[in-house]
Structure 1
């Protein structure tokens, strides 16, 4: 319902908002990782109207009206009402007539949520490409979202649908926080508020309200970081605070203090509980830079002073917890510590961290914690964390005898055991087959080269800290390779090329070596020697877009083979340390953007995140727990061709410079294998499993037949083995512990009939099969990469 009353001096607009539609939304359960930080940013401003606070949300999920009055003539008020057991607010907005006459009123209605969304804005943009453009039909119901979010199970497809819908409306930049609110023009700022609110309404309309949550999880995490800092400084008088951001699944705070252990967390948590139970108000204060500096110096907080120097905006925002503690923070926050559910807060661990990530700066104590709306959500998060620990590739690698890192050989150097080597062989064969089908030539190149090669490439100037020291061979310096690129260029330079030869695609599973601090090494995820699935494409300038799009298609094809169909795309631009001119970088960046747009992919821009020799596209794959892993990279490089002076002969018989594209799909075999282990929890699909079937005798009298079966299976390319020496129940348990997909049990009857009683690790007993049927079914499943 909407009513507009016009009077001589004012215009009053009355409309209804059903309270369930204004609930702030976040995760339906923590395991789905429902919203990235950019989505949290968008939802954190829900409930605002044209920069005025319209309504807050209380713990029961209903709106609490907040009336504000800017002047005697202007005001907003909301009255809670109930009709037929349906809660709603009757909201009245009174504006001066001369003010409202300058504004464009747009009202859209969505039946599914009984929500009238009101957006007042002027400065209407007529540019279709401008995020501040709304077509007259661009209301709530017009957002092209294919489905509503109904729970964790459909989150991935829902999120993709939302991204596509927002992209088609040119509004994705709002949730990506790449289109910031203008600060120098109050008019445009007001318009930005209106459009941001429209995006919020679109998102709320795309979510089933049965999973709506009343308090945003990220908000609780932000509050808890401050409460924890206050507790620490109460308990440890010499502790100095630094930064305390909220992160995925929680928050952390860094302190300059004497070392503490996990045992100290109980004491800190008890002090936090006392602060929360006191229901201290959280008060926002704006001060001048000079006043903030004076207060920080009075407190003797050197890190806060450094943080203050990095803040460019004024005034400086401070948040107080009661009258006892304050910190620099942009907010927003809940009204008081009493809004935090202390039973849904947990401190998790303590770790060391260098200030600003610089090894030359002080080592700090970092305390991690997590905060949720209620105990049920905390328990779900704890379960998810325990599940991640259960899937830890380092433990499974040992339990399943897949790989090891031998300290006698050195940290960060991987030993592939026979079973792990089988999986690696399958990965490599899949990779090689697809590349050869798509016109790539395979290479093998040396692991070392003269230092002069790395001088030409620029690595010694820009990457030396990640390279190992030089070794002298016959009085000439050599170095282990950190990258494969220069080798592929030397292969290109072996002969003169014509423009008719392009594109030239070469690929290699090349092992490289990079120096990593021992403290940063982590299983297969962070190592010192690893094999990249590296490829380079040499092409003409007018072939760049098609070649990059071809790489994107190839990447999809390869990742889908291994069960990854959800990923996040980032475009990284020129970093501070870089080689090449502005024009070259602009060409490279434009080529990547064009290819992504042609592909129709949604991507985020990481300003300054590119490699020193060119901009790049990064793909993060999403595993079974919703975690993202960096694997695929695509880079356009105008720099190395010039450094190595590589050329081709064009149609006019003139020498020209080709374009070079770097790319890796899996990233490294080691890291990708670690991701696979955790994604499948060691339960690889049948086609990827190192041992596909175990043949188990009831007694040793059936061993001869068991070995005959295994011989036949192996002759058909099936990875099988005989296990004996224990009672049958123990043999079955051992096979299941080793994640063996199929078991063939052999007793006297099976020997007599030439059959197997087949058991599946997940499906239980599958009945009796002939050896031929068992063999053919496995071969069919492996060929089609389906389930048995």
Structure 2
């Protein structure tokens, strides 16, 4: 059974230290590569689909979260305010208030909509120590977040497009959807009181889900609106939410967001919240457990292990590794131990490039794939081109 906490530490992906604190893991070099590669992937996907990336502060005045509704409805999960002079500053529990202010920073025309603002940003949740675990429940979260400001008649299409991006990302990561959940409000003061907006938003999300099998669950909505939760399952079958799509009429009203329509009249946009791969922490935790450390080739910390059979082949191995690195691949040479021991040590590496006397003399490489397939010796540059094309396409397969 793959437990990401044990496997992540044994593979030197991440760790924790009591001097830093519970729920605050740090990333080791190989884990940082996985995380960075995911960030690059999602930024590129978003850029190609019309998103504009921003950076916003992880702090805000308490009054900001009072305006957004977080302070009233989400206060128990937030850290207490910090006194800074005469102001009270708060570590943000969400990115949406900042993005609302970015939208509000100047006047907007209907021609700009939908405006898709994206950020891979930090946020903070005051989790109790008893629920913290590895990367799945942490106190400092890095979220692949975006907010789409659009007209009412654009909402469904934008939500469907977000769902398509989620499906494409899961296919590239080798991740399966366990269940689709339509998360609806429950009873009590946890949710903003506007039945008409709740019903309208829920109807839109039902339409987006269409023929997909889903379960409607009361009490799991965001405080401001219903959402589609994409559920994943760990090896024990325990579910958690990785990706979400939310429709929000509340915050645009709170922040008095506007756009000028074709008749030169002020209108209020709708806000679609969406996260394609969720938090980087939870995504990597699930990838570790899903693949047992044998990540898809494009995500692997080391993509090619270069294995010279003897010391005589080290110059050829160094030249091949340099060609790999220059092509944007992550390659390392394994020098120590017998060839068999080095092959076993590199069992999680997608590609093992073996160079013996014959290959070195001919400028070739004998490639072993992680799945056990062996390829005949081929020119090194040819293999590099094929592997690079495979990884650059984010294909879940090795060849």
Return the TM-score normalized by structure 2: 0.93
Secondary structure at 1:424 match in 2: helix
Q: Tell me which residue corresponds to 2:103.
A: 492
Pairing 1:405–2:34 present: no
Larger radius of gyration: 1
Deviation at 1:530, TM superposition (A): 1.2
Deviation at 1:625, TM superposition (A): 7.7
Q: In structure 2, which of residues 345, 357, 362 is the aligned counterpart of residue 753 of structure 1?
A: 362
Deviation at 1:714, TM superposition (A): 0.7
CA contact (8 A) 1:564 1:623 kept: no
Deviation at 1:629, TM superposition (A): 3.7
CA contact (8 A) 2:258 2:267 kept: yes
CA contact (8 A) 2:64 2:97 kept: yes
Pairing 1:704–2:322 present: no
Secondary structure at 1:686 match in 2: coil
Q: Tell me which residue corresponds to 1:472.
A: 83
Q: Tell me which residue corresponds to 1:321.
A: none
Secondary structure at 2:346 match in 1: helix
Deviating beyond 6 angstroms after TM superposition, the runs of 4 or more aligned structure 1 residues are 623-626
Q: Tell me which residue corresponds to 1:692.
A: 303
Deviation at 1:623, TM superposition (A): 6.5
Structure 2: how far apart are the matches of 1:622 and 1:769? 41
CA contact (8 A) 2:366 2:375 kept: yes
Structure 2: how far apart are the matches of 1:566 and 1:459? 29
1:531-552 deviation digits (Å, cap 9, x = unpaired): 1111111111222222222222
Structure 2: how far apart are the matches of 1:714 and 1:560? 26
**Aligned in 2, Cα 1:752/1:595: closer, same or farther, shift over 3 Å?**
closer
Q: In structure 2, which of residues 168, 191, 201 is the aligned counterpart of residue 588 of structure 1?
A: 201
Structure 1: how far apart are the matches of 2:269 and 2:200? 13
1:352-377 deviation digits (Å, cap 9, x = unpaired): xxxxxxxxxxxxxxxxxxxxxxxxxx
Pairing 1:423–2:67 present: no
1:30-60 deviation digits (Å, cap 9, x = unpaired): xxxxxxxxxxxxxxxxxxxxxxxxxxxxxxx
Structure 1: how far apart are the matches of 2:388 and 2:158? 35
Q: In structure 1, which of residues 725, 728, 747 is the aligned counterpart of residue 336 of structure 2?
A: 725
1:50-89 maps to which residues of 2 (within 5 A)? none
Q: In structure 1, which of residues 744, 754, 760 is the aligned counterpart of residue 353 of structure 2?
A: 744
Structure 2: how far apart are the matches of 1:471 and 1:412? 20
1:110-156 deviation digits (Å, cap 9, x = unpaired): xxxxxxxxxxxxxxxxxxxxxxxxxxxxxxxxxxxxxxxxxxxxxxx
Deviation at 1:502, TM superposition (A): 1.5
Structure 1: how far apart are the matches of 2:380 and 2:159? 47
**Aligned in 2, Cα 1:499/1:760: closer, same or farther, shift over 3 Å?**
closer
Structure 2: how far apart are the matches of 1:607 and 1:775? 52
Q: Tell me which residue corresponds to 1:185.
A: none
Structure 2: how far apart are the matches of 1:761 and 1:609? 41
Q: In structure 2, which of residues 382, 385, 389 is the aligned counterpart of residue 780 of structure 1?
A: 389
Q: In structure 2, which of residues 64, 68, 74 is the aligned counterpart of residue 463 of structure 1?
A: 74
Structure 2: how far apart are the matches of 1:697 and 1:553? 44
**Aligned in 2, Cα 1:548/1:759: closer, same or farther, shift over 3 Å?**
closer
1:677-725 deviation digits (Å, cap 9, x = unpaired): 1111111122221101111223333322221111111111111011213
CA contact (8 A) 2:58 2:122 kept: yes
Pairing 1:635–2:253 present: no
Q: In structure 2, which of residues 107, 129, 133 is the aligned counterpart of residue 518 of structure 1?
A: 129
Q: Tell me which residue corresponds to 2:186.
A: 575
Residues paired across the two proteins, number: 395
Pairing 1:674–2:291 present: no
Deviation at 1:781, TM superposition (A): 2.6
Q: Tell me which residue corresponds to 1:660.
A: 271
Structure 1: how far apart are the matches of 2:153 and 2:355? 64
Q: Tell me which residue corresponds to 2:153.
A: 542
Q: CA RMSD in A?
A: 1.9
Secondary structure at 2:216 match in 1: strand
Pairing 1:502–2:113 present: yes
Structure 2: how far apart are the matches of 1:557 and 1:746? 36
Structure 2: how far apart are the matches of 1:640 and 1:646? 8
Structure 2, unmatched stretches of 5+, are: none
Q: Tell me which residue corresponds to 1:613.
A: 224
Structure 1: how far apart are the matches of 2:57 and 2:264? 34
Secondary structure at 1:507 match in 2: strand
1:593-604 maps to which residues of 2 (within 5 A)? 593-597=206-210, 600-604=211-215
**Aligned in 2, Cα 1:502/1:761: closer, same or farther, shift over 3 Å?**
closer
CA contact (8 A) 1:570 1:619 kept: yes
Secondary structure at 1:636 match in 2: strand
Secondary structure at 1:646 match in 2: coil
1:213-232 maps to which residues of 2 (within 5 A)? none
